[in-house]
Amino acid sequence: MIRDDILSGRLPSGARLTEAMVMERTGVSRTPVREGLRTLEGEGLVVTYRSRGTFVTYRLTPDEATLIYDVRLVLEPHLTGLAAERMTPETLAAIENVLAHFVDALDNAEPREAGQLDADFHLAIYEASGSELLSVLRGYWTRLQLELSERVYNTELPRRFLDEHMSIFGALKDGDSARARKQMKAHIEHGKATIVKALKEKA
């Protein structure tokens, strides 16, 4: 619930989170609240200062965003290539289903929903890779998703990513590992240019 509040913008960057506030918001006791806040801190969505308390994390700087995208450009095309090699009919159908919902959200002018489905599309592909490197991706993904929802999807229309998604899916369907890696790399480069531009405009 708190993660959704942060990702939706209901809890803005810098907002203070007390245990009492989270208990009231979620209706759960102090122990799971503490565990939940530790989980959110591990995802990079909150930061805790010993003498000050817990706060929603501040947004990435252009340099930090560039660094994360440099990691993405190495890791995620690799995972996509593995996914193409290991794709099953069931997994391919699940990815196609996410893509169909992404198109529906675009047609219904729901950019935030389209943004979430964009993230779901990526994660479904990476999960299909079965790689142990998924733990590295999870270390930055939720923080990145916050930036995507607040920066990329409000700067670059999600529809402009559709052709790239379709190309990636086509490569996965064909089991073409090299083409899948190439298409994913181009897609992430597009996202990198968009988010760095958006962050610089906000600076």
Residue that terminates a domain, selected from 10, 41, 56: 56
Task: Indicate if 109 and 188 belong to the same structural domain.
Answer: yes
Task: Indicate if 138 and 197 belong to the same structural domain.
Answer: yes
Task: Indicate if 41 and 73 belong to the same structural domain.
Answer: no
Report the candidate in 86, 97, 90 with the shortest Cα–Cα distance to residue 175: 86
Task: Indicate if 73 and 113 belong to the same structural domain.
Answer: yes
Domain encompassing residue 50: 2-56
Q: What is the model's pLDDT at position 172?
A: 98
Report the candidate in 88, 75, 197 with the shortest Cα–Cα distance to residue 141: 75
Task: Indicate if 44 and 127 belong to the same structural domain.
Answer: no
Q: What is the model's pLDDT at position 177?
A: 98
Q: What is the model's pLDDT at position 156?
A: 59
Task: Indicate if 40 and 70 belong to the same structural domain.
Answer: no
Q: What is the arrangement of strands in the sheet containing 46-49, beginning at the earlier edge strand?
A: 16-17, 53-56, 46-49
Q: Which residue type occupies 41?
A: E
Task: Indicate if 68 and 131 belong to the same structural domain.
Answer: yes
- For β-strands 16-17 and 46-49, DSSP reports them as unpaired
CATH number at residue 17: 1.10.10.10
Task: Indicate if 68 and 86 belong to the same structural domain.
Answer: yes
Q: What is the model's pLDDT at position 139?
A: 83
Residue that terminates a domain, selected from 20, 40, 56: 56
Q: What is the model's pLDDT at position 178?
A: 98
Task: Indicate if 15 and 66 belong to the same structural domain.
Answer: no
* CA 76/CA 124 separation, integer angstroms: 12
Task: Say what the pTM is.
Answer: 0.80
Mean pLDDT by 10 residues, the chain (203 residues): 84 90 92 92 87 86 87 97 97 96 81 80 96 92 75 64 94 98 96 80 64
